[in-house]
Structure 1
Amino acid sequence: MERTYIDLASNPIASPTKIKILEAAIELFSKRGFSGASVRDITNEVGIKESSLYKHFKNKDEILETIFAFFRKEADKILPPMEHLDFIAEKMNLVEFLERGMQNFKRHLDDEINQKIWRIMYIELFRHPMAKDIYRNGIVKRTVDCLEVVFAKMIERGKMVTRDPKRLAIEYQYPLYPIIVEYNLLMSEGKSTEEIDAQVIEHIRYFADQCGVTS
């Protein structure tokens, strides 16, 4: 899959060597954690001298921050743009909206590089401020905010029960986070996610039965 990595100034990375360093670091950090992989480990993986790495990155921390910058950009693609939410609330029913959202999220998770960075995120979540910010604000808060807006618009259109849309967003989204962790674990072990997929569908249908309004 073709992807565009970005540097810390959000500029596309064109250097093939710099991309190889990033992808080697992603592989190693996802298996050993940031502290368990040295600069030498990364350069050995790429097949370059340590001095060559420092032409592209100041240090190992900058490599990790560049990985997180790329991941923030990828996470932004999961949700629809805010300017599309009115159209979505008008054209889709609740089940269609939730199923489409889960399909987008699965497409994101099924990408091999994204899977590995999710594992790095979990490892670094309680240590690195960028990991905390991406997870707390870029993923959890952004998702709840998006759901809240769509749910409010669907309530206005009589497609959902009249309840606090933020509370509905939290009730829908928060039970999915442990399921997402389990999905990532199964994917990393090369195991079937069929049972997890069924749980997600069941969650969507249950939520829609409780909170949706059929015309």
Structure 2
Amino acid sequence: MNTTKERILDVSLELFSQRGYSAVSIRDICKSVGIKESSVYYHFENKQNIFDVLLDRFSEIAKGMMAQLENGLTEGQNSFSDGINTVSNCFFEQYLMNDFCNRVMRIMFIEQFNNENVRKLYQHWLMDEPLNFQSKIFSVLMSIGIIPNCCSEYLAVKYYAPIYFYAQKWLFNGELTEESKEAFRIDAYKHIQMFFGEVGGYNG
């Protein structure tokens, strides 16, 4: 059901992701939704409350995605490469290219320069959590002999840095389109294949 509260959130998400949180006013939101300013305060205390709800929803999705990733390499996979593809698909399709998550990430990227809490959230979900997960995976792969022993933290950065770069190039720079998604997939999966071709254990 597209309630007024949800429409306020949807419109706010769109406007924040285009202009940044700081550049959007309650008046802007109300004009786009087609309601009086007083109507907003029936659902939200203020603009910050709207922003907080969006960030909380994003964090819940991100937590669920990370839980999926934890199981991605071990549940029902026929091979190591199947597991890598499953994990990559989850992270790419359900997170970086998910319409809601992508818009919130855009907002966080803009607002990290103005808001310390947003900066920490951006770093946590776009850098720290992916790197910690990947480091853990590389440690497991080394322990079972799939890849040679090395510094798992270094491998995590070497693996993730190009993916983060391609995400910035294709997914957070301009409108998110099917063409930009496909361009990201091509570059990201090519990198993954080359990366594991170098360290061992991946056949495409």
User: Normalising TM by the smaller chain, what interval?
Assistant: 0.7 to 0.9
Provide the rounded CA distance (Å) in 1 between the counterparts of 2:51 and 2:155.
Answer: 35
SS for the counterpart of 1:149 is helix
Q: Is the 8 A contact 1:71 1:117 kept in 2?
A: yes
Residues 1:99 and 2:91 are matched in the alignment: no
Normalization by structure 2: what TM-score?
0.84
Aligned length: 201
Post-superposition Cα deviations, 1:107-142, rounded to whole Å, max 9, x if no partner, equal 223332223222212111222233222221233111
Q: RMSD of the TM alignment (CA)?
A: 2.8
- 2:126 corresponds, among 125, 131, 139, to 139
Could you tell which deviates more after superposition, 102-111 or 141-150?
A: 102-111
Residues 1:192 and 2:179 are matched in the alignment: yes
SS for the counterpart of 1:87 is coil
Normalization by structure 1: what TM-score?
0.80
Residues 1:78 and 2:65 are matched in the alignment: yes
Residues 1:160 and 2:132 are matched in the alignment: no
Greater share of residues in helix: 2
Residues 1:202 and 2:193 are matched in the alignment: no
Provide the rounded CA distance (Å) in 1 between the counterparts of 2:100 and 2:58.
Answer: 9
Larger RCO (CA under 8 A, 6+ residues apart):
1
Which amino acid in the other structure matches residue 84 of structure 2? L
Which amino acid in the other structure matches residue 209 of structure 1? G
Provide the rounded CA distance (Å) in 1 between the counterparts of 2:164 and 2:129.
Answer: 14
Provide the rounded CA distance (Å) in 1 between the counterparts of 2:82 and 2:69.
Answer: 18
Post-superposition Cα deviations, 1:41-95, rounded to whole Å, max 9, x if no partner, equal 111222222112112212111211221111112222333458637836x9641x3
- 2:51 corresponds, among 56, 64, 80, to 64
Could you tell which deviates more after superposition, 148-157 or 126-135?
A: 126-135
Structure 1 unaligned segments of length 5 or more: list them: 1-13
Q: Is the 8 A contact 2:162 2:188 kept in 1?
A: no
Residues 1:127 and 2:109 are matched in the alignment: no
Could you tell which deviates more after superposition, 97-106 or 67-76?
A: 97-106
Structure 2 unaligned segments of length 5 or more: list them: none
Could you tell which deviates more after superposition, 18-27 or 103-112?
A: 103-112
1:7 is aligned to: none
Q: Which runs of 4+ in 1 moved over 4 A?
A: none
SS for the counterpart of 1:174 is helix
